[in-house]
Structure 1
Amino acid sequence: MHPTTRAGDPEHVVTVLRVAAGYTRQSKAKADKSEASPQTQDEATEKKARERGCSFKGHYRDIGVSGYDPNAKRKAFEQLLNDCRAGLVHEIIVFNVTRFSRREPRDTIPVVLELFSLGVTITSVSEGSFSPDDTMELIMLVLRLDLAHQDSKNRSQVITGAKQLAKEFGSWTGGALPYGLESYAESVAREMDGKPVTVTVRRLRPASVREDGTDQAGEVLKMVDRIFEYKDKPWEGKKNAHPASVGAIVTWLNSRNVRTQKGGLWRERAVKRLLTDPRLAGMAAEPVYALDKDGNKTRNVSGYRILRDEAGEPVTIGQALIPSTRFFELQEWLTGRGRGSGASPGKYVLTALGKLYCECGRPMTGSRDVYKCSRPSGVVEEGKHEGGSTIQQVGVDTYVASKIMAVITNADEEDPETLDILGEAASRLAQRQERPEVRSERATLLGERAETVRSIERLYADLRIGIYDGEIGRRQFLADKKSLEARLQGIDVRIAEVGSPGLPPLPVEEWADSEDGDPLGPHSWWARADVDDRRMLVELFVNRVTVAKAETRGGTERACRVEDRVTVLMSSSQANAEERTA
């Protein structure tokens, strides 16, 4: 505490001022006129501190942070606790105890007991003070914290149940409307537990399309039409992005002064998020959020998960702006091209596939007649090669083709490795030939499965380092484990239901055909094949091509021994499984 002295008499202590701090919390970051708004809480707690004769240290504010979620990080609250431990704060003032915490009393009581052991009083503007000197006040505070927790728990169950029911009925559950869509009310009748139930739900439908196409729905249709107009056409440009790429769509929209939902300029992330939203095709979906380096969810949407009924069919959320078959075909393009930057000039076989890499780990790009490392000039990376790295395109293409043809020409042999490569190639060919919506669902399920497995692994890692120590932690661990394992089991069931595509016969005789017996000679299939057919063959048989930097440069002997610099990893069931779960 801080003593104050009478003027001119430093030895005479008049009084000791307690230092109080206000703690303000609101679950949603918004400013309104409600009694729990941050501004109202700030004014009330500071006023209360003055009334109690305290020196007011300031406000500690956690805005947009839940007091109920045990995983929510309350940074300001943690700082306040540290200041109490350092003796800088003697009294915490909140608007009411729900601002202090809505968590289980078992989680909150240790914090309260620590504060009381430090001599810190907890004061509620609306409920009075709870001091560390009175056991009865501690009991009353615990009871109020329990009531706050039960109130939040009941609300959470009601809201969660209502949202889950709404999802099952194919309702849009709120949030920002997807660009190009509008909501409307609709009554839906169903039978639940043997009784007829009528629920009013919110559906989505395309916003009215103007004849000139200037509204949002019209702009979405024009984006999709533009992609389909150009996506299958060869593109030889070197400086500009492929017209059907995400980057080119962004440039096209901004050049026409088309604005986003919030009135700003378009960016690649926003266009990609829009065009991958299944709700455009009338299918209910929930966002999948990107994770930070610690595995925690961020607010950035990395994709969408289609909601399905018990039969595995997508739940309908309203009217489709884009037909589902066209939507899934669109996803094929967007997935294959990433953000669109991967579209390559037509003459390069390997750069269009995402399989060609420099030994330093960076992708290699095409430039004139060579493949080169994409590391920018002048950038130095520790432990990596110095300067640039290039290799003749024709030499690499021919070497990779020779590896493929070696497998094809030995197709009749009973070598296990060769049979595995051929089997994986057949599986990839089957996936190319099946319906886009089935292929897209399988890819989504495999992605969900990999993420669920990683979540289970993180759960056990947290257990090993003691995060789940104690009785409460043990219960939470078992609950999390049960939930994740049930989710994994459900995904596996759905993967089995989707099934694997039937394996088609590989046309190995056609690929190996040659008048002079040389599968890479001037009269071979490879020589006659265009770039797209060559890419198809590489895509079926190859997982990765790695190019090492040349040991010497220039000199009298400039012949490049490709086999000394290029490593080809062929497709296999194991390599493909690792690639899918990476």
Structure 2
Amino acid sequence: MTIHAAGYDRQSEERANRSEASQSTQRAANRAEADRRAKGGEDVVWIGHFSEKPGTSAFSGKERPEFERLLNACRTGRVNMIIVMYISRFSRQEPADAIPIISELLTLGVTIVSVTEGVFRKGNVLDLIHMIMRLDQAHNDSKNKSTAVKSAHDLARSLGGFVGKVPYGFELQPVTVPNSADRNKPIAIQRLKHRPSEVKIIKRIWQTIKAHKDEIIDAKRGKEHPGSLTTICRQLEKDLVPTRGATSGKRTSESVWDPATVKRILRDPRIAGFECERIGKVDDEGNMTRTLIGYKIKRDPETMEPLTLDCGEIIPRDEWYELQEWLSSRGRGKGLYRGEFLLSAMNLLYCECGGVMVGHGRNGDSKRKASYQCKGRRTIEGHGTPTIVTTILDDYVASRIFALIDAAESDPETILILAEATRRFGKRTEAPETAGERASLVQERADATTALNELYEDREAGGYSGPIGRRKFIELERKLNGRITGAEERLMELDEIATPRLPIGEWLSGEDGGSVKLADPTGEGSWWAKQSMNEKRDFIRLFVDRVEIIKSPNAGRGRFAPGVAARTTIKFAELPAEEVDEYEEAA
């Protein structure tokens, strides 16, 4: 009978330098075994190698594409002999999980050959027993190794050591520390320290962003924004600045600077000297994957103060928070000038059909007045392209806001609008580091609250029974409540620090500290007239959520055109629903 032999090889850990020495050795041994049998007189036809991608484990139970392909080849009769260097290459699962596959293969008449451990055939009970013993040993070896590695990592973390992929800007430094859990015996751990060559690049990137982040560039002239991540990456490539990948391994030797990679580096709290943990994307089974979606700054459970790295910061913390605010505001085309239209690009000007309205033409062009035009789909019969002159609508919206401000003291209905405007004003004027800390504390409180609810659900389901379980439950409950209380107390402190007052007097009088109201708060010499386009937009965002324009009921123009007030609906700012009751109670 002709033997159709195939080799199977895998390597459970991918080497940092992309080396496949282990699999190359396995492939050579598998092919040599087939050749040896052919030279011994057996009718052997070599089918080929079935090689898993480096880093494929046979212990985790995750999919092994090449193994599945090999099984299908056996099921279709293309392969009747599998050669492996060790049985452990075949499977490291528990024998109970691996035996059904092995039994299927043996039933199909497939012979399994281990170069180092012998032959396993159908019908030989001793062969089957021997294989079960080898599978059990391989599984236990992997299980023990996995437990030992996890224990070592847990111990290193508990002693302040770093475990995992080294972040950009850092390298590892071996440190010997006493292990208090083992009579203070010395133990070696790894801690982060700055890598000077990468620190220099991070600082260069931030200095470039800081120098240009507030610039507006005319996109119509084909210019790129000098402070954008894309432009920075191109300049790094032009200057032949190597990526870490280009200096650390075969697989990434051709890597280039990429905006997404640079953004991830700049988002990492460790460059500001904070300890943190990565937040990975969760798969459908609830397991955290290696796909990074963010970071969480570690905090002292009692004081809620951020934990810091011994090596210190690369970028000053207040500047890092400023950088985060800038990164959050970035998007395609941000920072590029496309025309001066006050209500454009604010996501608040809409047509009655639901379509967004955008500026068209140029302000100041006497031959063709600039207007806002509906860009919605032509789904309404007779809808056409509703337009409204930009200067008329801009002046109307501004005058409505100032009228609302002026009437605040005598009109109770405006109180909630001003309350929300005050909240937005405080958030906008808050220091970036304070805003960052506030967001982190809100997330910390939410995480602790979720964990506490899960703890109570586990208790209701019968968990934490018995004296030991009750003590554990009380301890966890105390810690979680402490985290929630600590976060709330710190948030209250931040609220006390941030007590903004709207500069209403300045807005209405045109002068800082002024008390005499102008007859026209949007006219010449007014505060409004002195503001830049972006400052005016920031002001409008304090008070307005949406401006909706209806189509002119008359096709005519001039004296037959309806007034702007008849065509415009302004939806003013509203407090979040959960804060309305609290505000009314306080009032």
Is contact 2:272–2:316 with CA below 8 Å preserved after alignment? Answer: yes
Report if aligned partners of 2:360, 2:373 keep a CA contact under 8 Å in 1: no
Secondary structure in structure 2 of the residue aligned to 1:203: strand
User: Structure 1, residues 428-481: CA drift from partner, whole Å, max 9, x if none?
Assistant: 444444443343245457679999999xxxxxxxxxxxxxxxxxxxxxxxxxxx
1:531 aligned to which of 525, 528, 533 = 533
Q: Are residues 1:331 and 2:288 paired?
A: no
Q: Hey, what's the Cα distance between the residues in 1 that align with 2:239 and 2:535?
A: 37
Q: CA RMSD in A?
A: 5.3
In structure 2, do the counterparts of structure 1 residues 128 and 105 end up closer, same or farther at CA, with 3 Å as the change threshold?
A: same
CA 1:556 to 1:356, structure 2 compared with 1: closer, same or farther past 3 Å? closer
Q: Specify the code of the residue in structure 1 equivalent to 2:47.
A: K
Specify whether residues 23 and 445 from structure 1 end up closer, same or farther in structure 2 by C-alpha distance, changes over 3 A only. Answer: farther
Q: 1:42 to 1:327 in 2, by over 3 A?
A: same
Q: How does 1:190-269 map to 2 (within 5 A)?
A: 192-193=180-181, 195-196=183-184, 198-208=186-196, 215-232=197-214, 239-263=222-246, 265-269=256-260
State how far apart, in whole Å, the 2-side matches of 1:523 and 1:512 are. 11
CA deviation after TM superposition for structure 1 residue 217, in Å: 3.1
The answer to whether residue 491 in structure 2 is matched with residue 499 in structure 1 is yes
Shift, 1:290, TM fit:
6.1
Q: 1:39 aligns with which of 17, 21, 24?
A: 24
- Distance in 2 (alpha carbons) for counterparts of 1:196 and 1:391: 78
Contact 1:170 1:315 in 2 (8 A): no
Q: Given the alignment of the two structures, is residue 275 of structure 1 paired with residue 266 of structure 2, yes or no?
A: yes
The Cα of 1:509 is off from its aligned counterpart by: 4.2
Number of aligned residue pairs: give it. Answer: 514
Alignment match, 1:79: 69
Alignment of 1:426-441 (within 5 A): 426-441=422-437
Compute the displacement of 1:332 (Å): 1.7
- In the TM superposition, 1:91-102 aligns within 5 A as 91-102=81-92
8 Å contact kept, 2:8–2:84: yes
1:84 deviates by 3.1
Q: Which one-letter code corresponds to 1:250 in the other structure?
A: C
Q: Provide Cα deviations, 1:362-415, integer angstroms capped at 9, x if missing partner.
A: 99799855799999xxxx999999999997655665676578668765687676
Which consecutive unaligned segments of at least 5 residues does structure 2 have? 247-254, 364-369, 451-476, 510-516, 580-587
Structure 1 counterpart of 2:12, from 8, 16, 27: 27
Deviation at 1:63, TM superposition (A): 1.6
1:130-145 equivalence runs, <5 A: 130-135=120-125, 137-145=127-135
450 and 349 in structure 1: CA distance in 2 versus 1, 3 angstrom threshold: farther
Matching residue's letter, 2:499: P
Secondary structure of the residue aligned to 1:513 is helix
**Matches of 1:566 and 1:123, distance apart in 2:** 80
CA contact (8 A) 2:59 2:142 kept: no
Per the alignment, in what secondary structure is the counterpart of residue 123 of structure 2? coil
The 8 Å contact of residues 24 and 38 in structure 1, kept in 2 or not, is answered as: yes
Q: Give the Cα separation in 2 of the matches to 1:280 and 1:80.
A: 47
Flag the structure with larger Rg: 2
Residues 187, 201 of structure 1: 8 Å contact kept: yes
Moved more, 108-117 or 380-389: 380-389
Q: In structure 1, how many angstroms separate the alpha carbons of the residues matched to 2:283 and 2:380?
A: 26
C-alpha separation in 1, matches of 2:227 and 2:349: 23
Q: Distance in 2 between matches of 1:18 and 1:167?
A: 53
Q: Give the aligned partner of residue 457 of structure 2.
A: none
Distance 2:141 2:147 in 1: 10
- Cα deviation, residue 67, structure 1: 1.9
Q: Distance in 2 between matches of 1:371 and 1:72?
A: 59
**Counterparts of 1:294 and 1:381, CA distance in 2:** 41
Residue correspondence of structure 1 range 301-312 to structure 2 within 5 A: 301-311=292-302, 312=304
* CA spacing shift, 1:132–1:243, aligned 2, 3 Å: same
| Within-5 A mapping of 1:477-492 | none
Q: How does 1:564-579 map to 2 (within 5 A)?
A: 570=573, 572-573=575-576
The offset of 1:104, in angstroms, is 3.9
| 2:188 aligned counterpart, secondary structure | strand
Which one-letter code corresponds to 1:283 in the other structure? F
Q: 8 Å contact 2:225–2:335 — kept in the other structure? A: yes
Q: Residue 408 of structure 2 contacts residue 415 of structure 2 at CA under 8 Å; is this kept in 1?
A: no
Name the stretch that deviates more: 255-264 or 21-30.
255-264
Q: Which residue matches 1:284?
A: 275
Is it true that 1:513 corresponds to 2:513 in the alignment?
A: no
Residue-by-residue CA offset, 1:523-557 (whole Å, 9 max, x unaligned)? 865455433433333444556x5989x989xx865
Relative to structure 1, the CA distance from residue 115 to residue 510 in structure 2 (aligned partners, 3 Å threshold; closer, same or farther) is farther
CA displacement, residues 265-290 of structure 1 (integer Å, 9 cap, x when unaligned): 43322322232233322333454456
Q: Secondary structure at the match of 2:184?
A: strand
Question: Is this contact kept in 2: 1:97–1:124, CA < 8 A?
Answer: yes
Aligned equivalents of 1:363 and 1:28: distance in 2? 55
Choose 253-262 or 398-407, whichever is displaced more: 398-407
Deviations 1:288-334 (A, max 9, x none): 45689999977665544434454542241523222222222222222
Matches of 2:485 and 2:74, distance apart in 1: 52
Higher helix share: 2
CA contact (8 A) 2:205 2:232 kept: yes
Deviates more, 1:444-453 or 1:41-50: 444-453
Change (3 A) 1:509 1:279: closer
Cα distance in 1 for residues equivalent to 2:50 and 2:19: 19
Q: Distance in 1 between matches of 2:449 and 2:127?
A: 47
Structure 2: how far apart are the matches of 1:406 and 1:136? Answer: 95
* Gap change, CA 1:146 and 1:575, over 3 Å in 2: farther
Contact 1:445/1:491, CA 8 A, preserved across alignment: no
Normalised TM-score (structure 2):
0.67
Change (3 A) 1:426 1:299: same
Q: Secondary structure at the match of 1:63?
A: coil
Per-residue Cα deviation, 1:4-29 (whole angstroms, up to 9, x for no partner): xxxxxxxxxxx3x2433322211234
Q: CA deviation at 1:61?
A: 1.9
Determine the structure 1 residue equivalent to 2:315: 322
Q: CA deviation at 1:565?
A: 9.3
Task: Give the corresponding residue for 2:454.
Answer: none
Segment of structure 1 superposing worse, 358-367 or 192-201:
358-367
Aligned partners of 2:20 and 2:231: how far apart in 1?
49
* 1:196-222 C-alpha deviation (Å, 9 max, x unpaired): 3544333344444xxxxxx54333323
Aligned residue number for residue 472 of structure 2: none
C-alpha distance in structure 1 between counterparts of 2:336 and 2:216, whole Å: 9
Higher deviation after alignment, 40-49 or 29-38: 29-38
- 1:511: how far off? 8.4
User: Which residue type is aligned with residue 277 of structure 1?
Assistant: D
2:152 corresponds, among 143, 147, 162, to 162
The AA in structure 2 aligned to 1:247 is: T
